[in-house]
Amino acid sequence: MATTKQILALQSDQILNAPVIGTKVDLKDSAATQKLIVDWTEPVGADRTLQLRDPGANDFFVYENLAQTLTNKTLGAGTVIADLPEYARLLGRLGGQVLNGGTAAGNNLDLSSTTNASKGVINALDNIVMAVGKEVTGLPATPSGATAATSKAYVDSVASGTSIGWREILLTVSQLDNTNDAIAQATVMFFVNNPISGDTLVIRDGVVTETFLFAGVSAPFQPQIGGTPAITMANLASRINTDSTRWFAVVVSTFQSINAATGTAVVIYRRTPTATVNDRIHGTFTTPADAKYVNFAGQSDYQSSTTANVPGGDPGVGQFGFGRITSSLQPSEAHIVRAEDQVYLWDADAGLWVRSVTLATSGAGGAIIGSTTFDASKGLLTTAGVTEVKIDNSTITFNGSGQLQTLRTQDYLSDGVFGNAVGTVFGDVDFPSFASDFELFYRLSSTTAASQLHVAFEGRLNTAQTQINTIHLFIKGTGASPQYNLKVYAEGSGATPVFTSGLTTAPGVSTAVTVLAGSLSAQPTTNKRFFVVIEAFIDASESVSVSRPYVIQN
């Protein structure tokens, strides 16, 4: 059956109460061209209600709690909408939110406290953490108060305006170049284990490349592999200093934070630091983990102790730390150097790097202004920060009158006395030869075979001394085979010598002979006298010459 259209005309005051209509209604008057189409779909599960109330007041569209889409509608005040991800949610969103200022390149996100001309502040209620590589810029040239942030330029200007401008930490004083008035850029490396013969270390700057080949023997650009990694590092530094045209090297033994095992490392630095260049190292090592270095590229100073394997190939970029040429130096800028644990300042007037002298003081019980060190072997002993005269009877002590007296003395013994002659022998004192030996010799000679002659020199310890520490003298001989026996006699040991060298052939040239305390079987007692005796065993035309002994005693 064909669809039949029926037109229902009602007067304006007629009301249809709860009519049932299909899913579409066209609304228009008889003269209108356009019509309002109300189109819907049969609700699922339950009836839906659409309420249109007083046209003179707000309209209400009430939906069930299901996802709805409202298109092309401007929402008025008090509207509550669902959590839409494209909008910032003031109450917060699970997982956090990202707020972007724009979508095109170079767009910004501007935050303002208020549109009013009288501005407030933007309060950060929690810590602000910058992403890696990001920074805060545009800080004021001068901070507004003690707690206000400021720029690096301001900090540098304040630091350089004082008597000492503290600057970067350096590796070693060797980087402070007085010839070129500069700071040399540097790196540090070390060996965990010895390299293998054929391994190489390469130093380059993009213009010059120098290759050092490790081998069993030393040669130009060929450091010798030593018995330990420390010896090999010393050999490497020596070859760099001898062969390189661009770099120097120095061995440091105090870098425990870099080489925890021994503290030994090689600092390689620019020979002529007049410009910033891309210095770097790499190498081929049979065991890559045996060669370590610190990459200072991009570092503001030389504090880092983070090590890595020396690269196997050319990194292509600089790995040395910063350097500074003359024009960039600031008067009195100060640097702490790690290897020497000292402070050096740039003296712009003298054009020199000078070591900072720490102000020291003294007072009852100790007084502290700075710090200093004392050498206990030279009579000063420091305990718990207080320094006193060392009186351990090894270097200095007090006598019975409370006066200081030195325990260690060093001087020549008495004039020699000849005796115990056998055969036709002669004892003479030769005038010194200033152009050669520079010694006053006692010459023992003979004109007959199988002859003997002795010469004795006397010494004595003072009342506070307890030992002969060292005996020094020179001996030489002439003729076919002159021989001597050096003996030391100490009071309290009688006629038995406390030292004897045994029968020894006298050398043809002046030769130093040394007798140490550990070689003596006893030390002088009672009056603490002693004698050094040289017994000459000579044939005709032979002689033995001996210098006056020089003795250290304490």
CA pair distance 461, 479, nearest whole angstrom? 37
Within-domain flag for 101: no
* Of the residues 277, 308, 337, the one at which a domain ends: 337
Is residue 271 within 8 A of residue 293, CB to CB? The reply is no
Within-domain flag for 216: yes
DSSP state of 170: B
- Region 475-491: what's the mean pLDDT? 96
| Residues forming beta bridges with residue 291, ordered by sequence position | 191
C-alpha count within 13 angstroms, C-beta hemisphere, residue 261:
10
| Ranges assigned E (strand) in 76-126 | none
Looking at the fold, whether 298 and 204 belong to one and the same domain comes out as: yes
CA pair distance 223, 194, nearest whole angstrom? 12
User: What total number of domains does the chain contain?
Assistant: 2
* Domain containing residue 502: CATH number: 2.60.120.260
* Of the residues 283, 302, 337, the one at which a domain ends: 337
Q: Token pair for residue 161?
A: 């305006």
Task: Tell me the pLDDT tens digit for each residue of 177-231.
Answer: 999 999 999 999 999 999 999 999 999 999 999 999 999 999 999 999 999 999 9
DSSP state of 198: T
Distance of CA 194 to the CA centre of its chain: 23
CA pair distance 490, 521, nearest whole angstrom? 10
Q: Decide: helix, strand or coil at residue 460.
A: strand
Domain of 311, in residue numbers: 173-337
Task: Tell me the pLDDT tens digit for each residue of 142-178.
Answer: 888 777 888 877 776 665 555 457 889 999 999 999 9
38, pLDDT greater than 90? no
* Of the residues 305, 337, 369, the one at which a domain ends: 337
485's enclosing H/E stretch is strand 483-490
φ/ψ of 506, rounded to 5, equals -70, 130
Within-domain flag for 141: no
* Per-position b or e across 210-219, b if 16+ CB within 10 A of its CB: bebbbeeeee
Looking at the fold, whether 414 and 320 belong to one and the same domain comes out as: no
pLDDT band at 53 (very low <50, low <70, confident <90, very high): low
How high is the pLDDT of residue 132?
87
Looking at the fold, whether 180 and 281 belong to one and the same domain comes out as: yes
Asked which of 300-309, 383-392, 475-484 is least confident by mean pLDDT, the reply is 383-392
Within-domain flag for 298: yes
Q: Decide: helix, strand or coil at residue 409.
A: strand
* Per-position b or e across 446-472, b if 16+ CB within 10 A of its CB: beeeebbbbbbbebebeeebbbbbbbe
Q: Token pair for residue 347?
A: 């003296």
pTM to 2 decimals? 0.44
CA pair distance 214, 200, nearest whole angstrom? 6
How high is the pLDDT of residue 369?
47
CA pair distance 278, 335, nearest whole angstrom? 23
